């Protein structure tokens, strides 16, 4: 039967944001397909996207605001419906009191949402620093490691230019990451003859279609990358011209252990720094005249090797010399021992990367001007592209590993060049970006917005968020000396810290779209106990928990108040340049969702909840001078909000100006939503070709980006092969920094891990594990057909996965007496799970893996308590701890990234008399009022 109506909007069955067409009949969704006119997916749709209909009509949908029944335990899932008026009344009273006394008693943490510009703004206006999204336990190492090195990162921030690449190396990427867009690009790349190498412990998904699979031990990627850098330098296969001009390789690093400036870059104090935050008076050693000169002075060329003395006898070395010294011992043989990859393979890979970059050089006839006034007739490309993600990041050594990758990409000359890595607006950003977190407890004041956003990019110890004793101010200890560059916060610390009252107890924890009582937490069994734990006076240790979600998850059972969110088909959304847009390599792209069906039951978009609360609490940015509300609702807010009065910059860049004829900048346009809706929900600004490449150093692009206020400053963004930022923290740890210094207990840690050059160390958990007891690395990845825990309520996708196995190499399994399909115990030093094993030759003998979040607790997601997900599915999180021996968080000591992939386990068969279902077991949760129990 033909559908009566077709509406376009943007998918949200995963985070890729493909364009979709929703086919409706009599107002009911009948079918969803890809929008052929959408630039991102060009009509392609995946299994998840096509199954959106089953999400819309899922029995797990929450449909009414709910309050925990008086006397019911948290976790039991016993609720009573209340009205929105009542829910808002409860929140307004509670939050107003917190805001007027101690705003940090309110913590807001969100999952894989796409509205962090709004949630971040809400927290800032509230005045609480206790805000973050999920990045701290996802891939902050990837974001921070790359941004602190090249000024951009992968996925939303940039990616491989597979249209022109000849060699593509994917490393540490889940089988379906960046789903449709990357699949489309890889398909074209392979058809045009490109060679695809996948470095991954597991050969599924993308790795299964790679031309070469290079299995690697989890947590050792940094050693591989350092060895490849070693080879590239030893063979002279780096792009000298690029490295000399566009990185800080030629910058002279002071080598005077006694000096406060040891390890910093030498400057000419007589010369104008231009911008003290990004000084332009740093020195090179000019090869032609054999003397120090200002970097990039006309007619000069920096020495990359050697040791020199400045006029005052200060010893200096070019940063590149220090890098070469660093990787000198990192031979392929050294890396082979660590990674399990034969030294010959490492040598061959390095050679292939270097030769392809050198010999397959691209010249595009596009003229451009660099930031120092140099005119270029063409844009040069080096057709070697990389893509990397959580497999590199989710280790407690992932920051330095990611830095090593950024450096390798730079040595090959591939940054923002054709065939290599290309930025996506609003990147590149300055290194580090100029936004800073609050600096101390004095920045948190009653009834006052924070002066800055809660999250930012520290550039020195002065940018940390610590008290006078150097202690943390955030509940997750972000931006403290424990995790100085925790630019995405540490969501995985929140519940444990709040339960401990360390650094202080909080009053209200609001969680949006994050399953923190299940797969979005480590140490799940203990965390669930913490959520329901009480003080001696009988009150909960975390007094009030608010959860906003569209579905009855494991987390909602622990809420005191549940706010039913809409689905993506029922609401407006803005994927904004202020947040995480869907930009293309050729220019900024933002997009929206528009409702294609009305909200179910009493569901309300979380954005509307925030706008309503912001109005009730009279946040300055949401209130007129006369005290009335500035914004009617979320769509009104998106259209009319400007970053400053009259700035012309709002959430959406398209069709601005009163008549909709302006873009990027312009007055609010009351018809902006309609214009997006009429244009496939997407706005694409194509940059002039001469602004599309070399953007770190492209004068024309910089001027344009400043004009549209995408960049604050116009100084070139040199790649930081050598990180002066890290050295500042190290100097502080050594007692040489004139400003803030770490507490004694953390000095050695900061000194060790804030190395200005990348290095490899075994992940912290591995260091704390007896390898003879727990010899196997255990990792997870998200399956292609499901997005984290979202899709077990989806009737179609459940037909693909209703339970998971632990995949074990058959040799490993047989050695332990484990049968294919047999029930086994998997044990770490922290806990154990019972699950089923499946033989697999697509994983190396030293590694086991499973899909994340298919296992469910009984009754959650409104599945029948004996559903396969609860009986046979399991969660690896039970084996992972959020704390390591000694009490430190299981996180990267630079960024606080959760060390998800560092756990070590052993396996053994379950005995014949043990039950054939998963363990640990949890009590079944009742269906929440307003949901329908599924079959
Ligand atoms: S990849 Fe699939 S689920 Fe993700 S946005 Fe695109 S169609 Fe939707």
- From 19, 31, 45, 786, the mutation candidate for ligand 1 (largest count of ligand atoms within 8 A of CB) is 45
Predicted confidence (pLDDT) per residue in 20-62, tens digit: 999 999 999 999 999 999 999 999 999 999 999 999 999 999 9
Q: Are 383 and 166 in contact (CB under 8 A)?
A: yes
Three-class DSSP labels, 382-407: CCEEEEECHHHHCCCCHHHHHHHHHH
* Whether the Cβ atoms of residue 824 and residue 836 lie closer than 8 Å to each other: yes
For residues 669-697, average pLDDT: 98
Beta pairing partners, 61: 551
The pLDDT value given to residue 135: 87
CB 382 within 8 A of CB 413: yes
In the prediction, which pLDDT does 780 show?
96
| Å from CA of 14 to ligand 1 middle | 5
Residue range 183-193: mean pLDDT, rounded = 97
Q: Are 106 and 128 in contact (CB under 8 A)?
A: yes
**Could you give the CA distance from residue 570 to residue 565 in angstroms, rounded to a whole number?**
10
Rounded (10°) angle between helices 221-234 and 398-411 = 30
Give the whole-angstrom CA distance, residue 837 versus residue 818: 7
Atom of ligand 1 nearest to the CA of 44: 7
Nearest residue by C-alpha to atom 4 in ligand 1: 14
pLDDT for 790 beyond 90: no
Tell me, in angstroms, the distance from the centre of ligand 1 to residue 179's CA.
7
Ligand 1, closest atom to CA 45? 7
Counting ligand 1 atoms within 8 A of each CB, the residue from 53, 114, 179 with the most, and so the one to mutate, is: 179
Atom of ligand 1 nearest to the CA of 20: 7
Length of the chain: 935
- The residues with which 430 forms a beta bridge, in sequence order, are none
The residues facing 19 across adjacent strands are 10
Query: Could you tell me the distance, in angstroms and rounded to a whole number, from the CA of residue 794 to the centre of ligand 1?
Result: 15
Q: What spacing in Å lies between the alpha carbon of 923 and ligand 1's midpoint?
A: 34
Of the residues 22, 36, 49, 155, which should be mutated to test ligand 1's pocket, given the most ligand atoms within 8 Å of the CB? 49
Give the closest residue (by CA) to ligand 1 atom 7.
49
Q: Whose CA is nearest to atom 8 of ligand 1?
A: 49
Q: How confident is the model at residue 932 (pLDDT cuts 50, 70, 90)?
A: confident
Cα–Cα dist 668/657, whole Å: 6
**What mean pLDDT do residues 378-401 have?**
97
Element containing residue 131 per DSSP (H, E): strand 131-132
Q: How close are the terminal C-alpha atoms of the chain, in Å?
A: 27
**Span 273-309, pLDDT tens digits:** 999 999 999 999 999 999 999 999 999 999 999 999 9
Helix (H) or strand (E) holding 563: strand 561-564
Instruction: Report the nearest atom of ligand 1 relative to the CA of 46.
Output: 2
Nearest Cα neighbor of 639 from 621, 617, 657 is 657
Question: What per-residue confidence (pLDDT) applies to 114?
Answer: 80
Res. 935: pLDDT tops 50: no
Mean pLDDT across the stretch 65-73? 96
The pLDDT of residue 933 is above 80: no
pLDDT given for residue 113 in this prediction: 81
> Residue 326: phi, psi to the nearest 5?
-60, -45
Pocket probe for ligand 1: among 9, 33, 46, 54, the residue whose CB has the most ligand atoms within 8 Å is: 46
* Residue 77 near residue 857, CB atoms below 8 Å: no
Question: What residues does ligand 1 touch, defined as CB less than 6 Å away?
Answer: 11, 13-14, 16-18, 41, 45-46, 48-49, 179-180
- Ligand 1 mean position, distance from CA 708 (Å): 30
Question: According to the model, what pLDDT value does residue 710 have?
Answer: 95
Give, using CA atoms, the residue closest to atom 6 of ligand 1. 18
Average pLDDT over residues 435-444: 98
Helices 606-616/116-126 angle, 10° precision:
20
Quickly tell me which residue has 């032609």 as its tokens: 288
Distance 520 CA to ligand 1 centre (A): 21
Mean pLDDT of 779-802: 93
Check residues 155 and 586 and name the one with the higher pLDDT: 586
Residue 574's SS3 state is strand
What separation in Å is there between the alpha carbon of 507 and the centre of ligand 1?
37
pLDDT digits (tens, 9 = 90+) for 332-387: 999 999 999 999 999 999 999 999 999 999 999 999 999 999 999 999 999 999 99
Q: Distance from the CA of 10 to the center of ligand 1, in angstroms?
A: 9
State the CB neighbour count (10 A cutoff) for residue 526.
20
Spell out a b/e string for 472-509, using b for 16 or more CB atoms within 10 Å of the CB, else e: bbbbbbbbbbbbbbbbbbbbbbbbbbbbeeebebbbbb
Top mutation candidate among 8, 9, 15, 16 for ligand 1, by most atoms within 8 Å of CB: 16
pLDDT at 886: 84
Nearest atom of ligand 1 to the alpha carbon of 41: 6
Q: How far apart are the CA of 411 and the centre of ligand 1, in A?
A: 34
**pLDDT at 515 > cutoff 50:** yes
- Whether pLDDT at 3 is above 70: no
Closest-lying ligand 1 atom to the alpha carbon of residue 34: 7
Pick the closest to residue 480 from 469, 492, 495, 491 (CA basis).
Answer: 469
Q: What is the pLDDT of residues 809-858, one digit of tens each?
A: 999 999 999 999 999 999 999 999 999 999 999 999 999 999 998 999 99
pLDDT at 934: 37
State which ligand 1 atom lies nearest to the alpha carbon of 180. 1
Structure tokens at 539: 């009150």
Integer Cα distance of 16 and 41 in angstroms: 9
> In ligand 1, which atom is closest to the CA atom of 16?
5
φ, ψ (nearest 5 deg) of residue 470: 85, 10
Residue of 8, 9, 14 best suited for mutating to test ligand 1, as the one with most atoms within 8 Å of CB: 14
Tokens of 650: 């709002």
Q: Ligand 1 centroid vs 678 CA: distance in angstroms?
A: 21
How many whole angstroms from 11 Cα to the centroid of ligand 1?
Answer: 6
For the stretch 714-752, pLDDT in tens is 999 999 999 999 999 999 999 999 999 999 999 999 999
Q: What is the dihedral of CA 529, 532, 536, 542, to 10 degrees?
A: 110
pLDDT by residue (tens digit) across 128-146?
999 999 888 889 999 999 9
Q: Which residue spans within 875-929 are E strands per DSSP?
A: 904-909
Report CA(181)–ligand 1 centroid distance (Å): 9
Q: Report pLDDT for 2.
A: 53
- pLDDT, tens digit, 9 for 90 and up, residues 486-502: 999 999 999 999 999 99
Question: Cα 504–506–508 angle (5° rounding)?
Answer: 170
How far are the Cα atoms of 462, 465, 490, 702 from residue 480, in angstroms, in the given order? 11, 6, 11, 33
144 Cα to the center of ligand 1, angstroms: 26
Q: What is the DSSP string of 598-612?
A: PPSTT---HHHHHHH
Q: How far apart are CA 367 and CA 170, in angstroms?
A: 31
What is the share, in percent, of the chain residues with pLDDT greater than 70?
99
What is the percentage of the chain residues whose pLDDT exceeds 90? 95
């Amino acid at each position: 039967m033909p559908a009566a109506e077709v509406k376009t909007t943007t998918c949200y069955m995963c985070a890729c944001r493909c364009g979709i067409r929703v086919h409706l009949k009599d107002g009911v969704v009948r079918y969803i397909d890809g929008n052929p006119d959408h630039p991102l997916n060009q009509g392609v749709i995946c299994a998840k996207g096509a199954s959106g209909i089953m999400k819309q009509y899922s029995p797990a949908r929450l449909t009414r605001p709910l309050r925990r029944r008086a006397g019911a335990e948290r976790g039991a899932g016993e609720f009573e419906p209340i009205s929105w008026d009542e829910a808002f009344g409860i929140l307004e009273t509670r939050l107003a009191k917190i805001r007027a006394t101690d705003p940090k008693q309110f913590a807001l943490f969100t999952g894989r949402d796409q509205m962090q510009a709004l949630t971040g703004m809400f927290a800032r206006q509230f005045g609480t620093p206790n805000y973050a999204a999920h990045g701290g336990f996802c891939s902050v190492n990837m974001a921070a490691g790359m941004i602190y090195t090249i000024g951009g990162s992968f996925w939303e921030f940039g990616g491989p230019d597979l249209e022109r690449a000849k060699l593509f190396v994917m490393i540490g990427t889940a089988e379906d990451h960046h789903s449709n867009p990357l699949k489309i690009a890889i398909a074209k790349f392979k058809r045009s003859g490109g060679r695809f190498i996948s470095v991954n412990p597991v050969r599924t998904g993308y790795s299964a279609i790679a031309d070469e699979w290079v299995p690697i031990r989890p947590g050792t990627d940094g050693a591989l990358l350092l060895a490849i850098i070693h080879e590239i330098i030893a063979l002279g296969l780096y792009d000298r011209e690029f490295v000399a001009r566009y990185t800080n390789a030629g910058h002279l690093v002071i080598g005077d252990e006694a000096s406060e400036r040891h390890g910093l870059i030498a400057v000419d104090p007589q010369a104008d720094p231009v911008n003290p935050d990004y000084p332009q008076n740093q020195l090179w050693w000019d090869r032609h005249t054999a003397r120090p000169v200002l970097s990039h002075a006309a007619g000069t060329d920096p020495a990359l090797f050697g040791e020199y003395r400045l006029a005052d006898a200060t010893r200096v070395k070019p940063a590149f010399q220090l890098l070469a010294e660093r990787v000198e011992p990192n031979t392929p043989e050294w890396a082979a021992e660590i990674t399990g990859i034969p030294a010959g393979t490492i040598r061959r890979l390095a050679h292939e990367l270097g030769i392809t970059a050198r010999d397959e050089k691209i010249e595009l006839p596009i003229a451009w001007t660099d930031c120092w006034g140099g005119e270029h007739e063409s844009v040069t490309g080096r057709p070697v592209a990389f893509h990397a993600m959580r497999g590199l990041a989710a280790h407690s050594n992932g920051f330095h590993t990611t830095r090593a990758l950024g450096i390798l990409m730079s040595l090959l000359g591939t940054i923002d060049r054709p065939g290599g890595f290309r930025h996506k607006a609003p990147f590149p950003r300055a290194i580090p970006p100029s936004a800073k977190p609050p600096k101390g407890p004095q920045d948190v004041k009653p009834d006052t917005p924070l002066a800055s956003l809660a999250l930012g990019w520290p550039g020195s110890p002065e940018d940390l968020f610590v008290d006078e004793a150097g202690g943390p101010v955030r509940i997750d200890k972000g931006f403290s000396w424990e995790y100085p560059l925790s630019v995405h916060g540490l969501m995985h610390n929140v519940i444990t810290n709040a339960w401990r009252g360390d650094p202080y107890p909080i009053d209200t924890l609001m969680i949006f779209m994050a399953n923190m009582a299940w797969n979005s937490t480590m140490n799940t069994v203990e965390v669930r106990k913490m959520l329901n734990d009480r003080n001696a006076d009988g009150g909960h240790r975390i007094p009030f928990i608010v959860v906003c979600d569209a579905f009855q998850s494991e987390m909602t059972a622990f809420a005191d108040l549940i706010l039913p969110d809409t689905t993506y088909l029922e609401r407006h959304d803005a994927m904004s340049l202020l947040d995480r847009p869907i930009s293309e390599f050729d220019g900024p792209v933002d997009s929206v969702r528009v409702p294609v069906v009305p909200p179910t039951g009493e569901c309300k978009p979380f954005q509307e909840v925030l706008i309503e609360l912001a109005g009730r609490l009279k946040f300055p940015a949401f209130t007129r001078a006369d005290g009335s509300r500035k914004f009617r609702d979320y769509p009104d807010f998106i259209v009319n909000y400007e970053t400053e009065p009259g700035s012309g910059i709002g959430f959406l860049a398209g069709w601005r100006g009163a008549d909709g004829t302006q873009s990027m900048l312009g007055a609010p346009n009351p018809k902006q939503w309609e214009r997006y809706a009429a244009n496939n929900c997407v706005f694409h600004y194509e940059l002039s070709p001469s602004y599309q490449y070399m953007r770190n150093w492209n004068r024309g692009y910089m001027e344009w980006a400043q004009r549209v206020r995408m960049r604050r400053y116009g100084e070139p963004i040199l790649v930081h092969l050598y990180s002066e930022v890290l050295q500042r923290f190290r100097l502080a740890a050594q007692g040489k920094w004139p400003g803030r210094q770490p507490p004694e207990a953390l000095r050695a840690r900061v000194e060790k891990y804030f190395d200005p050059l990348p290095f490899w160390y075994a992940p912290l958990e591995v260091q704390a594990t007896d390898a003879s007891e727990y010899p196997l690395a255990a990792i997870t990845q998200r399956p292609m057909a499901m997005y984290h825990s979202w899709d077990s309520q989806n009737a179609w996708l459940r037909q693909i996965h209703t339970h998971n196995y632990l995949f074990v190499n058959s040799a490993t399994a047989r050695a332990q007496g484990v049968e294919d399909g047999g029930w086994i115990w998997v044990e770490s030093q922290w806990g154990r799970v019972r699950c089923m094993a499946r033989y697999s030759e697509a994983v190396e003998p030293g590694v086991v893996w499973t899909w994340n979040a298919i296992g469910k607790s009984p009754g959650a997601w409104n599945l029948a308590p004996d559903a396969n997900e609860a009986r046979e599915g399991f969660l690896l999180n039970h084996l992972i701890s959020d704390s390591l021996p000694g009490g430190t968080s299981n996180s990267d000591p630079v960024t606080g990234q959760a060390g998800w992939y560092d756990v070590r386990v052993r396996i053994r068969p379950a005995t014949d008399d043990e039950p054939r279902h998963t363990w640990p077991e949890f009590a079944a949760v009742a269906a929440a009022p307003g949901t329908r129990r599924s079959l």
